[in-house]
Structure 1
Amino acid sequence: MDAPRVRPAQFADGDALAGLDRETWSVLHAVQPRPEPPYKPFFDLSSSPADHLVAEGGDGTLLGYLRMTPATPLACNAHVRQINGLAVADSARGKGIGRALLHAAFDEARRQGARRITLRVLGHNAPARALYLSEGFAVEGVLRGEFLLDGAYVDDVLMARPL
């Protein structure tokens, strides 16, 4: 697979991204129940195309996305961006899509004037944690047993890295 093209999301990507979200849903990373019909739109008042980067293959197929927003609405915190979601199509896993999206997010966060980027990841999501560690994120906090998922208590791990 060639390197993916990473670009800002467009409103027209909404249906494909909603499908990708449903395809990739897993208790490994989701704290919400599995989506059921009728499905909600991917983009809404709290999540716009401007918050998303998408990775697409040479044929235009969306292979993944990353959602990034300011960490808070506070002016004193304007130098921080937070990754609020990262998904890669099952068929594209292990091919550098997540890493390409992270690198694009770092560039975009710097362009926006950020000096730091944060995220939260479930403690049992070893593949995601390994990716984040390999990209310079460090664990800055752990909320032990924060979520009850599929009958087990799961940690919420807070990670960050400088830009």
Structure 2
Amino acid sequence: MGEKASQERPDGWWRDPPQSEWILDRGHEPTTFELFHDFIIGKAVTTPEAVAVASMPPSRLIQFDITHPRRGVEYVRLFLSPTDVLEGPAEEEPDLTIRMNYYDLVAILLGELSVMGAFWGGKATVIGNLTAGIDLFDTIQAIHKKGRTPRPDFWPSGHP
């Protein structure tokens, strides 16, 4: 999707299929927390391969600092293994912090842009344990049924 990912979407974009199948319409554009919550409940938990992939690594805390053009920075904490999503900045040091634009995050959660594509394409700033980012990538790929990318032997799935 490239440059279009960073651009605002038309009003009511979350009401259109296929995202309307998993994003709850609350009468406003979802906050970052609402978007992640709906993604976990409506997509991740209903995808057996994603549940299996997310349970493989050690517990990971990934903090997202997401900049929305009108609401400013919104903070979400995502735990992998076990999976949980919480609103607000992390109180403890996260394994990984990802800073990006809200609409790039939307593109990732819709399967239009890959997590690693956002990193390597300069759409996201990543601070911390990149292995946690690869674990996140594997999980999101599984949610979108895009298969897992093989890893080198020295960096196996679930490596701390």
**TM-score category by the smaller chain?**
0.3 to 0.5
For normalisation by structure 1, the TM-score amounts to 0.36
Which structure has more relative contact order (CA 8 Å, sep 6+)? It is 2
Task: Judging by fraction of residues, say which structure has more helix.
Answer: 2
Task: Judging by fraction of residues, say which structure has more strand.
Answer: 1
Query: Larger C-alpha radius of gyration, 1 or 2?
Result: 1
For normalisation by structure 2, the TM-score amounts to 0.37
